[in-house]
């Protein structure tokens, strides 16, 4: 037995671990080590349950042999009682095994999910530019469940199979070495089939998990954009897309089920066939008087007892290969590193303090990682003095949003640097930098929570404006009070029960709650009328007079009163100055101004 069993272990080690097919699972060692004491007691209980299970048939064999000669009833009852006792102890130990190992797997799953989500929070914006949310959800649910199956049932049944084989085969050798050899004849065939089937299961499992991620991504996008789907009558087309992906998912799952079914049927047949030479040779030994009836009965029980370990090898193989494929996909996320990180240790005393001083762009150039050959910004240089209001205008695609995204370090410039108060922002702790900047992005996003919590989202424990005051400056207060529950009104997904203008003003109020030193408004007033826009700016000037405002807008009426206007064209600064100075230049800004005047005249005539 030891020769054949060593052969199986060596074969699996060489085929799987050396070639890296299961190396991904070694990343789970820190989680297993965290619960090593509990797992160790679980292994002790595994040893105990198998010891009692293998010892029990010996008493049954003795009871059978006693019946072939004169006996006293107490002798029979003694052996039967011990058999029942050992079987019961085996069951109790098995219960403890499940409580120790399976429960631990749930703790590890809990830790993995927390670490996965926490890691996602550390990744930079560029990571989310290239990775779909459905893909991340799939890896954090389906793939994590597959890993949990490995650290729970996978480990439990692997250890159980190991000790069941060792104890049962040792007992079989003690009864008859020759019969044991007959019983273990299928071992080489078993090891080869485990190897071949394991490769197929892992490949199929990887495809299934990727298919599931694609389906999750499609469903998430369609539900989020359901109004667009309906407006364009795309329902049948989207259903067809889902059916096509679901068919691929179905076919791959069906293929995996067929592989598993064939493997389990093969193992069951192999176990049953191994009994034929055992019963034949054992029967001859009983007839020759070299083995007792109780001995052959006990041996057959041990061979039957090995049937589940042999079958569980196939089941565990399936679990391990699925987990290996899943862990490989999770490892891709855990191995991702943020592009934007602190280059200095974050001082706790300054993490909540706001920065002061001018904002300077010094020969800044930038390209997105996905298109490094295309420069979005080229040699940008300008300075924004503290407390001033600066506007950035330009045609669509000129690089306006990219420019302001560099201020809170959503991205880092490829060349040049951005400074605040003379300090390169790459040397400023992110917590300090982002505490300084109130940012309202071009795409408004509100959480499925109350209006109050959405507005107060960023402030946390920092001092700043309260929700009511911030909403008044953003001209949102009166609109909110029209709702039956006021600021405690629950918003739907992405704030669906607010109008476009209300969403923009809620996002502005959220930024104002910081009481930031720098306020960046990336086309954040496009959905409000000019009168409301003017009142919002008046409120900003009155309540936050020392705040530096950097404003992106396409409206001349919005930017004309700013202290300075910077015009971007094709990623470069085309001109810069006040409203009057730029009109006198007669270039891009003047053309934009005349175009908007003409549009207003046409609109008034119509």
Instruction: Evaluate if residue 500 carries a pLDDT over 70.
Output: yes
Asked if 374 and 319 sit in the same domain, the reply is no
Instruction: Evaluate if residue 523 carries a pLDDT over 70.
Output: yes
Reported confidence tier of residue 463, pLDDT bands at 50, 70, 90:
low
For 130-145, what is each residue's pLDDT tens digit? 887 878 888 888 888 8
Look at residue 351 and tell me if it is in a domain.
no
Look at residue 560 and tell me if it is in a domain.
yes
Instruction: Evaluate if residue 462 carries a pLDDT over 60.
Output: no
For 551-598, what is each residue's pLDDT tens digit? 998 888 788 888 999 999 889 999 999 999 999 888 888 888 888 888
Instruction: Evaluate if residue 201 carries a pLDDT over 80.
Output: no
Asked if 290 and 371 sit in the same domain, the reply is no
Average the pLDDT over 279-291 and give the result: 77
Average pLDDT, the chain: 82
Instruction: Evaluate if residue 431 carries a pLDDT over 90.
Output: no
Look at residue 474 and tell me if it is in a domain.
no
Residue that the structure tokens 């005051």 belong to: 469
Instruction: Evaluate if residue 425 carries a pLDDT over 80.
Output: yes
Reported confidence tier of residue 351, pLDDT bands at 50, 70, 90:
very low
Q: What is the pLDDT of residue 130?
A: 84
Look at residues 281, 299, 334 and tell me which one is the last residue of a structural domain. 334
Look at residues 296, 319, 334 and tell me which one is the last residue of a structural domain. 334
Instruction: Evaluate if residue 295 carries a pLDDT over 70.
Output: yes
Look at residue 349 and tell me if it is in a domain.
no
Look at residue 103 and tell me if it is in a domain.
yes
Q: What is the pLDDT of residue 175?
A: 84
Look at residues 334, 349, 373 and tell me which one is the last residue of a structural domain. 334
- DSSP element (H, E) containing 363: strand 359-366
* HEC string for 423-477: EEHHHCCHHHHHHHEEEECCCCCCCCCEHHHHHCCCCCCCCCCCHHHHHHHCCCH
Instruction: Evaluate if residue 4 carries a pLDDT over 60.
Output: no
CA dist 135 and 146 (Å) reads 16
Query: Which sign does the torsion angle of CA 188, 190, 193, 197 carry?
Result: negative
Quick one: what percent of the chain has pLDDT higher than 90? 18
Instruction: Evaluate if residue 349 carries a pLDDT over 80.
Output: no
CA dist 47 and 85 (Å) reads 17
Q: What is the pLDDT of residue 71?
A: 59
For 151-187, what is each residue's pLDDT tens digit? 888 888 888 888 888 888 888 888 888 888 877 777 6
Q: What is the pLDDT of residue 37?
A: 92
Q: What is the pLDDT of residue 403?
A: 93
Longest CA–CA separation in the chain, Å:
125
Q: How many domains does the chain have?
A: 2
Q: What is the pLDDT of residue 346?
A: 44
Q: What is the pLDDT of residue 13?
A: 47
Look at residue 490 and tell me if it is in a domain.
no
DSSP helix/strand/coil, 132: coil
**Is 222 within 8 Å of 228 (Cβ atoms)?**
no
Q: What is the pLDDT of residue 416?
A: 92
Instruction: Evaluate if residue 317 carries a pLDDT over 50.
Output: yes
Q: What is the pLDDT of residue 128?
A: 85
CA atoms within 13 A on the CB side of 502: 17
Asked if 135 and 66 sit in the same domain, the reply is yes
- If one compares 233 and 101, the residue with the highest pLDDT of the two is 101
Look at residue 5 and tell me if it is in a domain.
no
Asked if 280 and 376 sit in the same domain, the reply is no
* β-strand partners of 548: 518
Instruction: Evaluate if residue 94 carries a pLDDT over 80.
Output: yes
For 110-131, what is each residue's pLDDT tens digit? 999 999 999 998 888 888 888 8
Asked if 330 and 365 sit in the same domain, the reply is no
β-bridge pairing 564-569 and 572-577: antiparallel
Q: What is the pLDDT of residue 432?
A: 85
Instruction: Evaluate if residue 350 carries a pLDDT over 80.
Output: no
Residue 288: CATH number of its domain: 1.20.1560.10
**Is 342 within 8 Å of 429 (Cβ atoms)?**
yes
Quick one: what percent of the chain has pLDDT higher than 70? 88
Asked if 197 and 271 sit in the same domain, the reply is yes
Average the pLDDT over 47-61 and give the result: 86
Look at residue 8 and tell me if it is in a domain.
no
* β-strand partners of 383: 360
Q: What is the pLDDT of residue 572?
A: 92
DSSP helix/strand/coil, 485: coil
CA dist 513 and 464 (Å) reads 5
Number of residues in the chain:
606
DSSP helix/strand/coil, 566: strand
Average the pLDDT over 376-383 and give the result: 93
Asked if 160 and 302 sit in the same domain, the reply is yes
Asked if 223 and 367 sit in the same domain, the reply is no
Q: Which of the given ranges, 31-40, 66-75, 316-325, has the highest pLDDT on average?
A: 31-40
Instruction: Evaluate if residue 348 carries a pLDDT over 50.
Output: no
Asked if 217 and 167 sit in the same domain, the reply is yes
- DSSP element (H, E) containing 339: none
Cβ burial 196-205 (10 Å sphere, 16+ → b, else e): ebbebbbebb
Asked if 405 and 322 sit in the same domain, the reply is no
Asked if 185 and 280 sit in the same domain, the reply is yes
**Is 268 within 8 Å of 311 (Cβ atoms)?**
yes
CA dist 496 and 503 (Å) reads 9
Q: What are the counts of helices (DSSP H) followed by strands (DSSP E) for the chain? A: 25, 10
Residues spanned by the domain of 370: 359-442+518-605
Asked if 390 and 295 sit in the same domain, the reply is no
- If one compares 271 and 159, the residue with the highest pLDDT of the two is 159
Reported confidence tier of residue 314, pLDDT bands at 50, 70, 90:
low
Residue 404: CATH number of its domain: 3.40.50.300
Q: What is the pLDDT of residue 69?
A: 65
């Amino acid at each position: 037995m030891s020769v054949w069993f060593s052969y199986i272990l060596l074969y699996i080690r060489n085929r799987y671990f050396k070639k890296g097919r299961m190396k991904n699972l070694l990343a789970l060692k820190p989680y297993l080590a965290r619960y090593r004491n509990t797992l160790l007691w679980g292994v002790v209980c595994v040893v105990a349950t198998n010891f009692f299970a293998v010892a029990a048939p010996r008493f049954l064999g003795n009871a059978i042999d006693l019946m072939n000669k004169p006996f006293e009833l107490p002798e029979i009852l003694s052996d039967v009682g011990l058999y029942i006792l050992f079987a019961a102890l085996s069951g109790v130990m098995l219960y403890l095994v499940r409580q120790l190992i399976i429960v631990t797997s749930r703790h590890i799953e809990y830790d993995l999910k927390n670490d996965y989500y926490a890691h996602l929070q550390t990744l930079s914006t560029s990571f989310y530019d290239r990775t779909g949310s459905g893909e991340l959800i799939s890896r954090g649910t389906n793939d994590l469940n597959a890993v949990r199956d490995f650290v729970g049932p996978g480990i439990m049944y692997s250890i159980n199979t190991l000790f069941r084989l060792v104890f049962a085969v040792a007992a079989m050798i003690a009864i008859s070495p020759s019969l044991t050899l007959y019983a273990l004849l299928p071992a080489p065939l078993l090891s080869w089939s485990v190897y071949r089937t394991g490769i197929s299961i892992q490949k199929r499992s990887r495809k299934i998990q990727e298919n599931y991620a694609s389906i999750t991504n499609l469903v998430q996008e369609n539900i989020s954009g359901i109004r667009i789907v309906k407006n364009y009558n795309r329902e049948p087309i989207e259903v067809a897309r889902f059916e096509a992906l679901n068919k691929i998912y179905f076919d791959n799952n069906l293929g995996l089920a067929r592989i598993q079914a064939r493997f389990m049927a093969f193992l069951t047949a192999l176990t049953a066939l191994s009994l034929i030479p055992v019963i034949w040779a054992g029967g001859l030994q009983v007839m020759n008087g070299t083995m007792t009836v109780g001995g052959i009965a006990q041996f057959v029980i041990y061979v039957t007892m090995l049937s589940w370990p042999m079958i569980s090898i196939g089941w565990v193989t399936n679990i391990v290969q699925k987990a290996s494929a899943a862990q490989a996909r999770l490892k891709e996320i855990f191995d991702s590193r943020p592009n934007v990180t602190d280059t200095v240790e974050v001082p706790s005393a300054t993490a909540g303090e706001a920065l002061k001083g001018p904002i300077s762009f010094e020969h800044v150039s930038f390209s997105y990682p996905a298109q490094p050959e295309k420069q979005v910004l080229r040699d940008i240089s300008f300075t924004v003095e503290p407390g001033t209001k600066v506007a950035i205008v330009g045609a669509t695609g000129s690089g306006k949003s990219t420019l302001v995204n560099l201020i809170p370090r959503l991205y880092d410039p490829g060349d040049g640097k951005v400074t605040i108060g003379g300090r390169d922002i790459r040397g400023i702790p992110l917590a300090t930098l982002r505490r300084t900047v109130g940012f309202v992005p071009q795409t408004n996003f509100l959480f499925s929570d109350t209006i109050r919590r959405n507005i107060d989202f960023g402030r946390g424990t920092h001092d700043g404006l309260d929700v009511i005051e911030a909403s008044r400056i953003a001209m949102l207060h009166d609109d909110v009070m029209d709702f039956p529950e006021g600021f405690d009104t629950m918003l739907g997904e992405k704030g669906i029960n607010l109008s476009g203008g209300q969403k923009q003003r809620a996002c502005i109020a959220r930024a104002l709650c910081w009481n930031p030193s720098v306020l960046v408004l990336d086309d954040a007033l496009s959905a409000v009328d000019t009168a409301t826009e003017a009142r919002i700016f008046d409120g900003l000037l009155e309540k936050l007079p020392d705040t530096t405002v950097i404003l992106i807008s396409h409206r001349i009426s919005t930017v004309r009163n700013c202290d300075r206007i910077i015009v971007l064209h094709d990623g470069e600064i085309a001109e810069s100055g006040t409203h009057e100075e730029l009109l006198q230049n007669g270039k891009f800004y003047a053309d934009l101004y005349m175009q908007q005047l003409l549009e207003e005249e046409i609109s008034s005539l119509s």
